[in-house]
Structure formats: structure tokens, C-alpha cells
Homo-oligomer: A and B are copies of this chain.
Amino acid sequence: MEIATGIRKKYPVPMIRRLPSYLRIIKSYSYGGIEYISATDIANELGYDSVKVRKDLALTGVCGKPRMGYKVDELIRAIRSIVGWDKNSEAVLVGTGCLGSALLGFTGFSRRGINFAAAFDVDPHKIGMTVHGHTVMPMRGMKNFITERKIEIAVLTVPADAAQETVDILVDAGIKGIWNFSPAILKVPARVVTQNENLMSGLAVFMVKMATESV
């Protein structure tokens, strides 16, 4: 069950993207006091093919029992371990605009082990304000804060034209990963992980679907 020391499995990205949905359903079974869940159960809830789910679950390393399914709490533990939601890490949020504020107020992060240690903004008017319990701090102090507290994760919600200069500071401060909500493509050294969330990609797919559907 535990991850072999040194060796780390390579999980397919599409599978990783599905894990949170699986987890959500498995947890609802857990809350309902149900001990076992089958790949078919999950597939039905999500409208997926059950073979796909079974293959994904196989990759988690959890073994199922024929006729029974998979042990709910084993799956929960395994998935949370893969996606790193079983341990706490501190993060900074940079850019307290609409989206940044929304993310600060989102309770889902702390439940997944991501805690905002600080929020930063350039706007002098925002400094000192409290956004969902987090005091906005001046960008000036960001580098030292990150370095001293050894923060590894930054959530980037600044406008596109401020993205790269902000990233340079983050990288300089020793950040390990940047979750980027700006549309800008970031230039970072190879050791720094970036993950781009592009809201507009989703909108594009949605609009194309709508157009094709209505033929």
C-alpha cells in the first residue's frame, strides 16, 4: 500500500484530472456508512465507462474484491495520497482582484491541505484590508516572507501584464510551484513547476459545443 521508497509511479494526466471527482463520490459513500464501492457505481454517477474507472483505480494500487468492489476508506486514503491532499502545505496568493479574493474565500483549499499564509497586492489602497480573513500585504515584503517561511506554493491571480515580473520575484524567493490563473505564459527555470488554469479554454470548448449542438 505505501509508496515504494525512491520509485514514484507516473500517473497519466487524464487519470489525475478524474481523481477529484472519484474522491467526491467515494466520500459520499463513506458519509453514508457504505464500506464498499464498485467501479460501476462510480462510472454510473459520472457517466463514465466502468472499464476506464477500473483502470484508474488499479493505478491507485488499491485492490478490489470481485462481487464486492473496492474498500471505500482504502480508496480515499490512496487517492488523497496521490494528489497530495493528505499533508499540509503553505501557500501565498498574489493579486487580490476578483478571482484572487474568491480563491481566498474558498474553503476547499484548507480541506485539501493548502493554507494561505499570506496574500499580496501592489495596490496601496488594498494593503491592510482583510479579504476572507487574510490581511493583504504589500508586494514589497513578499520575497522575504516566502524565503523566511520557506513557502513552496504560489497562487498567481495578477493581471497578465504583471505576471512575469511577479513570477521573477517568486522564483527569486525560492518558490517551488506556481499555480497560474493569469493567461500569460510564464518563463521559469526548469526546477519550478507551473500549472496554467485558463478559464477561456473552458469557455471556448463550451461555445463550440453549443454551436455544434444547435445545428
Please list the residues of chain A having a beta carbon within 8 angstroms of any beta carbon in chain B.
Answer: 8, 10-11, 13, 16-21, 24, 45-47, 82-85, 98-99, 101-103, 105-106, 108-109, 112, 114, 132, 152-153, 160, 176-177, 179, 183, 185, 191, 193, 195, 197-215
A17: B residues at CB distance < 8 A: 198, 201, 204-205
- Point out the residue from B16, B207, B214 that lies within 8 Å of A205, measured CB to CB: B16
- Point out the residue from B8, B195, B204 that lies within 8 Å of A206, measured CB to CB: B195
Q: How far is the CA of A203 from the CA of B105 in the complex (A)?
A: 16
A99: B residues at CB distance < 8 A: 102, 106
What are 29 A-B pairs at a CB distance below 8 A? A8-B212, A8-B215, A11-B208, A13-B205, A16-B201, A16-B205, A18-B201, A20-B183, A20-B200, A21-B183, A21-B185, A21-B201, A83-B204, A84-B208, A84-B211, A98-B106, A99-B102, A108-B199, A108-B200, A112-B203, A152-B210, A153-B210, A177-B210, A179-B206, A193-B206, A193-B213, A195-B202, A195-B205, A197-B199
Among residues of B, the one whose C-beta sits closest to the C-beta of A200 is B20
Interface of chain A, helix or strand or loop or mixed? helix
Q: How far is the CA of A208 from the CA of B179 in the complex (A)?
A: 12
A176: B residues at CB distance < 8 A: 210, 213-214
Task: Specify which of A19, A108, A208 lies most central, judged by the most chain B CB atoms within 10 Å of its CB.
Answer: A208
Q: Establish whether residues A20 and B214, one from each chain, have CB atoms under 8 Å apart when the complex forms.
A: no
Q: Establish whether residues B206 and A21, one from each chain, have CB atoms under 8 Å apart when the complex forms.
A: no
Q: How far is the CA of A177 from the CA of B209 in the complex (A)?
A: 9
- Point out the residue from B21, B24, B85, B106 that lies within 8 Å of A207, measured CB to CB: B85
Task: Report A70 CB to chain B, min CB distance, Å.
Answer: 19
- Point out the residue from B102, B152, B206, B213 that lies within 8 Å of A98, measured CB to CB: B102
